[in-house]
């Protein structure tokens, strides 16, 4: 069969079955868009939960404490025993935070000197970060608010306007320390409250020691605190149980119900997988029913001398044309829905939060779905052609 003859037959068949062709295209477009959207939402949600919640550094940290009465030898023994626990990758001294007030009133009240935790990926917004060997440098929140007692108002501040300025902070002991602002950081991470001024950890340890020395004896309980870092959040609970047998320990928690997020995600993942399988199976059944309904047409082609190869080219040419056209239209519909409806809705729910996300419009997945549809189309066509070889041509006489 010549290509020109094939094109003519396929075109005639499509035009003679306009209603059926339109229904087929509509089903493929809808199913393709729904599958693309479902996966486009579940993928970034899963990435968010795994990378931003499960793998957050807080879920890999265990804080240990030892009172001042513990001897240096005993402290060293405990630290060595903890370091030998399988899964522990680091132990470093924890200065904790120190409440301070900015003496010039530029920041308002209620700030704390804090440090950048090891293995934590701080999101820098402007300026630069600092090296832990530096002194007298600090990072401030990109945007923050604080009550200014001299003005009697809550003032909003853009942290980038402070880059290059030197701020002086006073703690409750009366000690003051000056820091040059070198950059700003994003406070969307649940580790931050938006009231932290980040300084080098070693410097904060020195400042904390000076603070304790200046305070009246007995006002603050002196303890040694350290942070134990594990290799994986999956091992943290088991390691924590072992550390509790060695010394006092506790775990910090994210302000999210991570277990509920994980449970909801797996339920949604299972539902999405079931929906995708059901939709693909629906496409298969719809296509199979469409081809099976044309038994008489296949018998007619047989009667006028078409062989199996000819029939395969006709049926596959017709349905591949409809399938590929529908996928192209479905792709356009997907991007339109994602851009104008789904992403704005997701932003209204999660925009400006730590869990902000948008539909994942990975074209490779769309291509994978298209390939699956094409393979199903070819498979159904081959089956139909083989079955047509057994058609009793007298069916045409009965018609």
Question: Closest Cα partner for 344 from 333, 331, 353, 357?
Answer: 357
Q: What's the CA gap between 159 and 288, in Å, rounded? A: 63
Residues 73 and 200 in one domain: yes
Both tokens of residue 162?
């402070």
pLDDT tens, residue by residue, 123-165: 999 999 999 899 999 999 998 876 666 666 677 788 899 999 9
Residues 151 and 192 in one domain: yes
The pLDDT, as a whole number, for residue 7 is: 63
Residues 158 and 289 in one domain: no
pLDDT tens, residue by residue, 73-92: 999 999 999 999 999 999 99
pTM for the full predicted model: 0.78
Q: What's the CA gap between 24 and 326, in Å, rounded? A: 9
Both tokens of residue 312?
């395969």
The pLDDT, as a whole number, for residue 76 is: 95
Residues 46 and 34 in one domain: yes
Q: What's the CA gap between 25 and 324, in Å, rounded? A: 9
Domain boundary among 202, 225, 253: 253
> Can you tell me which residue has the tokens 């549809």?
373
Q: What's the CA gap between 229 and 82, in Å, rounded? A: 11
Residue 221: band (very low, low, confident or very high) from pLDDT cuts 50, 70, 90: low
Domain count, the chain: 2
Residue 11: band (very low, low, confident or very high) from pLDDT cuts 50, 70, 90: low
Question: Closest Cα partner for 311 from 85, 13, 97?
Answer: 13
Residues 36 and 152 in one domain: no
Average per-residue pLDDT for the chain? 85
Q: Domain of 368?
A: 3-54+259-398
Residues 108 and 182 in one domain: yes
Burial of residue 142, with CB atoms counted within 10 A of its CB: 0-12 exposed, 13-18 middle, 19 or more buried:
buried
């Amino acid at each position: 069969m010549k290509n020109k003859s094939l094109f003519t037959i396929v075109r005639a068949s499509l035009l003679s079955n306009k209603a059926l062709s339109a229904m087929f295209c509509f089903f493929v477009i809808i199913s393709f868009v729904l599958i693309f959207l479902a996966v486009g939402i579940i993928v970034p949600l899963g990435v968010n939960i795994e990378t931003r919640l499960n793998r957050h550094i807080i879920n890999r940290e265990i804080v240990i404490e030892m009172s001042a009465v513990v001897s240096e030898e005993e402290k060293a023994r405990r630290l060595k025993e903890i370091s030998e626990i399988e899964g522990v990758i680091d132990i470093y001294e924890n200065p904790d935070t120190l409440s301070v007030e900015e003496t010039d009133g530029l920041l308002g009240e209620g700030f704390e000197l804090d440090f950048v935790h090891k293995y934590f990926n701080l999101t820098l917004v402007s300026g630069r970060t600092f090296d832990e060997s530096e002194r007298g440098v600090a990072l401030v929140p990109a945007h923050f608010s604080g009550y200014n007692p001299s003005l009697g108002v809550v003032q909003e501040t853009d942290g980038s306007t402070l880059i290059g300025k030197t701020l002086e902070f006073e703690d409750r002991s009366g000690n003051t320390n000056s820091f040059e602002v070198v950059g700003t950081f994003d406070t969307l991470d649940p580790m931050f409250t938006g009231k932290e001024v980040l300084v080098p950890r070693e410097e904060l340890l020195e400042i904390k020691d000076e603070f304790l020395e200046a305070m009246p004896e007995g006002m603050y309980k002196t303890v040694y605190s350290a942070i134990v870092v594990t290799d994986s959040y999956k091992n943290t609970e088991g390691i924590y149980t072992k550390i509790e047998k060695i010394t006092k320990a506790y775990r910090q928690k994210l302000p999210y119900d991570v277990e509920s997020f994980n449970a909801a995600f797996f339920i949604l993942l299972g539902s999405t997988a079931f929906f995708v399988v059901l939709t693909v199976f629906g496409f298969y059944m719809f296509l199979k029913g469409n081809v099976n309904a044309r038994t008489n047409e296949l018998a007619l082609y047989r009667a006028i001398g078409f062989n199996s190869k000819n029939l395969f080219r006709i049926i596959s040419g017709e349905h591949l044309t409809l399938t590929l056209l529908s996928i192209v239209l479905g792709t356009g519909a997907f991007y339109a829905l994602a851009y104008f409806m789904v992403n704005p809705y997701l932003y209204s729910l999660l925009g400006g939060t730590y869990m902000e996300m948008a539909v994942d419009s990975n074209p490779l997945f769309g291509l994978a779905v298209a390939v699956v549809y094409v393979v199903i189309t070819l498979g159904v066509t081959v089956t139909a052609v083989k079955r047509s070889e057994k058609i009793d041509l007298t069916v045409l006489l009965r018609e």
